[in-house]
Chain A
Amino acid sequence: MKQQDLARALGWFSIGLGVAELLAPRKLEKAIGVRKRHTGLTRSYGLRELTAGIGLLTAEEKNLSPWMWSRVAGDVLDLASLGSGFSSDRNNKSKLTFATAAVLGVTVADVLCSMKLAEDEASSTRSVRHSVSIRKSPEELYQFWRNFENLPKFMYHLHSVKVTGGNRSHWIAKGPAKMKVEWEAEIVDDQPNHLISWQSLPGADVDNWGTIKFEPAQHTKETIVEVELGYAPPAGAMGALMAKLFGEAPEQTVKDDLRRFKQLMETGEIPTIQGQPAGRATSTTKYENYVRDLVSA
């Protein structure tokens, strides 16, 4: 069974347990050997289970691991509650022991599934597509983009791109945690004024590729520019870090890059407030972070 399918199944399990805890808390308590009433507590656990269940059943396949980790956290809480049950003489110890063993079993399954999912999510191939309208001809836009050395002017996660000859170029990106990520790339498709496709060569820190298309808009004096960028971070802990090559929210990063490309091409500059006066210690603002937080939320 695929890890993702297992996660969904555990989601259904959460829903079932949650419903039981919510609707028949007393019956459930008796079944696991708890004599004293804790219906409020049990119901709140039911709510927690339901939340995790709904999360697991509705999240996208690539975003399942946080919900699985929330199940693990729930398991730990359940175990702690069961453990405290042993200190009361009035509870049925053999029923409690059975319940604890069952929860332990589920916990092991949850932890394994969460870890496997997190690994899959980190190393899977990602690609992001975005498009924008720009009031310039396909020729002008193609020309500018075709010289890859221009890209860091508006792609802020790039440190530099050097054209090393012909179709080859050397790219240095700002990786996470101040790391530098480097690769050689080669243009694999070049249709003047229409399309450019490039790909990293073997030996890249992160395998990646990109395509940009320029299409004249039908009814405006604009060009529709569509970009698709993809990358496949290596597996393992390093890969998990590299997965953030385009920041926490790759969609937003690419959107912002394209917006700046448009601004630069249409107006010759990128609007900024960095370095303007303000009545505080630094002229820059918390809203630069705010934008980042917001878009990665």
Chain B
Amino acid sequence: MKANCWCGIGEVQVMDVPDPQILNPRDCIVKISSTAICGSDLHLYDGYVPTMQAGDVLGHEFMGEVVETGRGVNNLKVGDRVVVPFPIACGNCYFCDKQMFSLCENSNPNAAIAEKMWGHSPCGIFGYSHMTGGYAGGQAEYARVPFADVGPIKIEDGLSDEQVLFLSDIFPTGYMAAEQCNIQPGDTVAVWGCGPVGQFTIKSAWLLGAGRVIAIDDVPERLQMASEEGGAEVINRNEVDVLEVLKEMTAGRGPDATIDAVGMEANAHGLLGAYDRIKQAMRLETDRPAAFRECIMACRNGGTVSVPGVYGGFVDKIPLGSIMNRSLTIKTGQTHVHRYLRPLLERIKKGEIDPSFVITHTMPLTDAAEGYKMFRDHDDECIKIVLKPGQ
């Protein structure tokens, strides 16, 4: 089959690889109809996530048709149309029982590596480095889905791929990011990053009762989408001092919740920005936490900082004093996608949201290399790319 493989920093290539096989009783094989490129893939592409190996199949946002099931899978049958959540979860362990699926104790075959790096291991993830399992991903014609009796959600006809594909990651991720803020009616929520995750975070903040949503980025078309599609007030961080403007907008108090939907490759102006770039380049710091720092400084006393943005390792100059002295709460995590599949599918069916608004480009899987570059560089006003393996 054809699959998009990581070949080194800044290099992906669609290659011919063997078709996936059922390896465990609870596996199924999905023939992929649509798959997307995510901001998380960019962290791999740019080489900031350790334990990638040349030839790894990428992709964790995918859907398609079940073509084979292992003998342990009784709830799915060949021909079912499914969306697959990006975290792999067993459904049996302590954390799955608590609905914290991205912390599943039984799905990461390389848990020992993660334990060295992070103390304990999270779940396995499709196409997301060997530290989180080394599972072949879904930017391919077929994918093997472990614990298929727990993860995939069946989709009836009548909904297009484009409407449901993002249940695999970014819609639940934006939703959980907002949910973590414990929004009270009328609260002001500020979102850093107007990429696809930021866009869904904005929509979700409204769904959860925010009174005001403010979005921050410096890419004009993304700010425009946040404003026109998301109904957010926007701040172009290139033109003004974000912290000053947020203070002005909130009568000096600061937003009730701030959300870092940027992650480890945040851009920053000035000295601290240069500091992060140099330290990251020298491997003295793995991540550039500029947006996270701003989220902390901006948040009102006693407020919540929610972090859907992905970080990999170690960061410097985190204003812990600000967090401590001002009673801030930090909430973060890989999204517990399974928890949100059914409720969010309901919202889509009811017409409360149509997730396809975020798609700016659709291309054949074979153009993946071009797609990655375009998405990273924001060429052609690119915001979200869907790849079609069949074409």
- A complexed with B: yes
Hey, which chain A residues are within 8 Å of B7, CB to CB? 279
Q: Which of A255, A277, A294 contacts B113 (CB 8 A)?
A: A294
Let me know if A268 and B94 touch, CB within 8 A: no
Flag the segment in A1-9, A96-104, A258-266 that touches B: A258-266
Interface size class of B (residues with CB under 8 A): 35 or more
Once the chains are docked, how many angstroms separate the CA of A269 from the CA of B105?
Answer: 13
Let me know if B116 and A294 touch, CB within 8 A: yes
Once the chains are docked, how many angstroms separate the CA of A294 from the CA of B144?
Answer: 28
Q: Which of A135, A271, A280, A295 contacts B24 (CB 8 A)?
A: A271
Let me know if A287 and B54 touch, CB within 8 A: no
Q: Which of A259, A266, A276, A291 contacts B90 (CB 8 A)?
A: A266
Q: Does B195 lie at the interface of the complex (its beta carbon under 8 Å from any beta carbon of A)?
A: no
Hey, which chain A residues are within 8 Å of B289, CB to CB? none
Chain B 243-255 near chain A by CB (<8 Å), digits 1 or 0: 0000000000000
CB distance from B9 to the nearest CB of A (A): 16
Let me know if B23 and A286 touch, CB within 8 A: no
Whether A279 touches B15, Cβ cut-off 8 Å, given contacts A222-B94, A256-B112, is: yes
Whether A274 touches B106, Cβ cut-off 8 Å, given contacts A266-B92, A285-B130, is: no
Q: Does B5 lie at the interface of the complex (its beta carbon under 8 Å from any beta carbon of A)?
A: yes
Hey, which chain A residues are within 8 Å of B113, CB to CB? 287, 290-291, 294
Flag the segment in B38-46, B133-141, B337-345, B347-355 that touches A: B133-141
Chain B 1-12 near chain A by CB (<8 Å), digits 1 or 0: 101010100000
Let me know if A266 and B93 touch, CB within 8 A: yes
Q: Which of B14-34 contact A (CB under 8 A)?
A: 15, 17-21, 23-26
Interface size class of A (residues with CB under 8 A): 20 to 34
Once the chains are docked, how many angstroms separate the CA of A252 from the CA of B133?
Answer: 18
CB distance from B389 to the nearest CB of A (A): 14
Once the chains are docked, how many angstroms separate the CA of A182 from the CA of B51?
Answer: 37
Let me know if A278 and B23 touch, CB within 8 A: no
Once the chains are docked, how many angstroms separate the CA of A35 from the CA of B148?
Answer: 78
Let me know if B23 and A276 touch, CB within 8 A: yes
Hey, which chain B residues are within 8 Å of A255, CB to CB? 112
Let me know if B55 and A271 touch, CB within 8 A: no
Let me know if B93 and A272 touch, CB within 8 A: no
Whether A279 touches B94, Cβ cut-off 8 Å, given contacts A271-B109, A273-B109, A274-B23, is: no
CB distance from A262 to the nearest CB of B (A): 7
Whether A275 touches B23, Cβ cut-off 8 Å, given contacts A262-B105, A290-B51, is: yes
Let me know if B26 and A291 touch, CB within 8 A: no
Once the chains are docked, how many angstroms separate the CA of A222 from the CA of B135?
Answer: 28
Let me know if A279 and B13 touch, CB within 8 A: yes
Hey, which chain A residues are within 8 Å of B108, CB to CB? 271
Q: Does A133 lie at the interface of the complex (its beta carbon under 8 Å from any beta carbon of B)?
A: yes
CB distance from A281 to the nearest CB of B (A): 8
Let me know if A290 and B130 touch, CB within 8 A: yes
Once the chains are docked, how many angstroms separate the CA of A273 from the CA of B90?
Answer: 15
10 sample A-B contacts, Cβ–Cβ < 8 Å, listed by A number: A266-B90, A266-B93, A267-B92, A267-B106, A269-B25, A271-B108, A278-B57, A279-B15, A279-B57, A280-B55
A-side residues, CB < 8 A to B, are: 133, 135, 220-222, 252, 255-256, 259, 262-263, 266-280, 283, 285-287, 290-291, 294-295
Q: A271-B107, A283-B18, A295-B112 are in contact. List 19 more A-B contacts (CB 8 A).
A: A259-B111, A267-B92, A267-B147, A269-B25, A270-B24, A271-B109, A271-B124, A272-B24, A273-B133, A273-B134, A277-B3, A277-B17, A278-B53, A278-B57, A278-B136, A279-B3, A279-B5, A285-B56, A287-B113
